[in-house]
Amino acid sequence: MLNRRDPGSEYSTPSLCANALQALCAAVKKLNGNPSRLTAGTGVESEDLARPFTRVSYRQSDLIVARAIAQWPDEPLSLHLTRPGRANAYGPLGLAMMSCATLHEAVMLGIRYPEHFGVTVKTDIEIRGDRFYLSFWQAFPEPRTMPFWAEASMACMVNLSRTLLAAPGAPQFVPLRVDLQHAAPPYAAAVFEALCCPVRFNAPRNLMVGEKRWLEMPLPTRNGYVKAEAIAHLDLAPRPRAGQRDLVVSIQGMLGRDPSRRLTVEYVAADLNMASRTLRRHLLAQGTCFRDLCSEARCELALRLLERNDCSVSTAAASVGFADTRSFRRAFKRWTGQTPGNFDPGLAPDASAASPTPPRPTAASRSPSTASRIPVRSRR
């Protein structure tokens, strides 16, 4: 069990996919709620949750869920995270699980890549005799949200197993029993219905018990080639840099949405519900500053624009907020060591090279093959 107060811990590292929070926000909309109120001040906007490669931290995820629970305590929000009949709703991980040979292999793959489910719980499985025992716990215990994540994880396991095993005439997966540590909620009847088995509340731990024979069943959609391709995609997915925290990533996201806007540290701090002095102190503790993050965001966009054959230097300069190309050329030279008119993506350094901020991969370094296809040419 990890300590979320430890500055070196993963509690504030943006490592979780946003699909679970996206499903929660969709449920909130159906309740005529405003998802933006759930995400306000967290450093991530509700619209960001639907964007590819958006990652959130345990801190952000638990805060958003806690706000939803406080507003709708009698609603089975946790059960809205399930996607009956849609394993591909879990992205590459769902595709990889569909392609496994057996349900056991698929479950082990889910345990191997928990961050792609977007939940803040960890999972372990134990097989004893003719039964399996699937346990769930939070890496960073949060009493306000653990009931939500436990219910969601159990319901997802039931629905995903049924989806993976679905075949004409095949029996439906049913657990023998589910144990939940928390007291029965007002919507307990919905939990019983979703899990399709006896449920015991106020149990010693969060546990699902099932027959081992389910794990041994072959999946009708098994495909070794597709599985290997999907796992390769999972392994190549962007990961946070060592020591990177959600605060820095959130600010980078805000600045990256429109680098031509000259956002002030006061504006960004207010959006994150903190004083500008506090924001500067937090950034300094992480080895960076607001000015460096602004430069990095502008440099990142400039690199992407100049990799395109149809973008001129003047267009790139205006897009990243420079009033004239002369100032942009000086800044670009400082960032990359090259002039924008003769920019070679294959020689470009990290976007953060001009600042003490930890290195950030450039568009060229993320896709080496792109650099080899782009000729070096003069831009006007």
The CATH number of residue 138's host domain is: 3.90.1520
Say whether both 172 and 94 belong to one domain. yes
Say whether both 227 and 252 belong to one domain. no
* Measured CA angle at 47 (ends 45, 51), to 5 deg: 110
Q: Which stretches of the chain are DSSP H helices?
A: 19-30, 35-39, 58-71, 91-98, 103-112, 146-165, 188-195, 212-216, 224-236, 246-257, 265-271, 276-285, 290-306, 313-319, 325-336, 363-366, 368-373
Q: What pLDDT is stored for residue 296 in this prediction?
A: 80
Say whether both 184 and 259 belong to one domain. no
Cα dihedral 112, 117, 119, 123, rounded to 10, equals: -30
Range of the domain at 203: 16-236
Q: Does pLDDT of 8 surpass 50?
A: no
Confidence at 354, pLDDT banded by 50, 70, 90: very low
Say which range, 10-19, 232-241, 271-280, 352-361, has the weakest mean pLDDT: 352-361
Say whether both 160 and 291 belong to one domain. no
- Contact, 288 vs 248, CB < 8 A? yes
Q: What pLDDT is stored for residue 241 in this prediction?
A: 58
Looking at the domain assignment, is residue 200 inside a domain? yes
When pLDDT is averaged across residues 180-185 and rounded to a whole number, the result is 96
Say whether both 186 and 302 belong to one domain. no
Look at the chain and report how many structural domains it folds into.
2
Looking at the domain assignment, is residue 9 inside a domain? no
CATH number at 257 reads 1.10.10.60
Say whether both 35 and 62 belong to one domain. yes
Say whether both 84 and 116 belong to one domain. yes
Q: Does pLDDT of 334 surpass 50?
A: yes
pLDDT digits (tens, 9 = 90+) for 29-82: 999 999 999 998 888 888 888 887 788 888 889 999 999 999 999 999 999 988
d(CA 57, CA 360): 18
Amino acid at position 254, single letter: M
Does residue 121 sit in helix, strand or coil?
strand
- Contact, 137 vs 204, CB < 8 A? no
Residue bearing the bigger pLDDT, 271 or 214: 214
Residue bearing the bigger pLDDT, 162 or 258: 162
Q: Does pLDDT of 292 surpass 80?
A: yes
Residues counted in the chain: 380
Looking at the domain assignment, is residue 50 inside a domain? yes
When pLDDT is averaged across residues 229-238 and rounded to a whole number, the result is 86
Looking at the domain assignment, is residue 379 inside a domain? no
Looking at the domain assignment, is residue 83 inside a domain? yes
Q: What pLDDT is stored for residue 282 in this prediction?
A: 79
When pLDDT is averaged across residues 244-265 and rounded to a whole number, the result is 70
When pLDDT is averaged across residues 92-99 and rounded to a whole number, the result is 92
Q: Which of 198, 215, 236 represents a domain boundary (last residue)? A: 236
Say whether both 315 and 226 belong to one domain. no
Contacts of 187 (CB under 8 A, 6+ apart): 74, 75, 76
Phi-psi region of 162 (alpha: psi -120 to 50; beta: other; left: phi over 0): alpha
Looking at the domain assignment, is residue 10 inside a domain? no
Say whether both 298 and 150 belong to one domain. no
Say whether both 63 and 177 belong to one domain. yes
Looking at the domain assignment, is residue 5 inside a domain? no
Does residue 330 sit in helix, strand or coil?
helix
Q: Which two tokens stand for residue 354?
A: 């001009």
pLDDT-above-70 percentage for the chain: 82
Q: Does pLDDT of 84 surpass 70?
A: no
Looking at the domain assignment, is residue 40 inside a domain? yes
Say which range, 17-21, 121-125, 347-351, has the weakest mean pLDDT: 347-351
Alpha carbon separation from 86 to 55, 321, 330 (Å, rounded) = 22, 43, 51
Say whether both 163 and 300 belong to one domain. no
d(CA 114, CA 318): 42
Q: Which of 202, 236, 270 represents a domain boundary (last residue)? A: 236
* Of 206, 66, 203, 81, nearest in space to 138 by CA: 206
Q: Which two tokens stand for residue 246?
A: 């959600």
Say whether both 162 and 251 belong to one domain. no
* Of 236, 211, 13, nearest in space to 131 by CA: 211
Q: Which of 212, 236, 260 represents a domain boundary (last residue)? A: 236
The whole-chain average pLDDT of the chain stands at 82
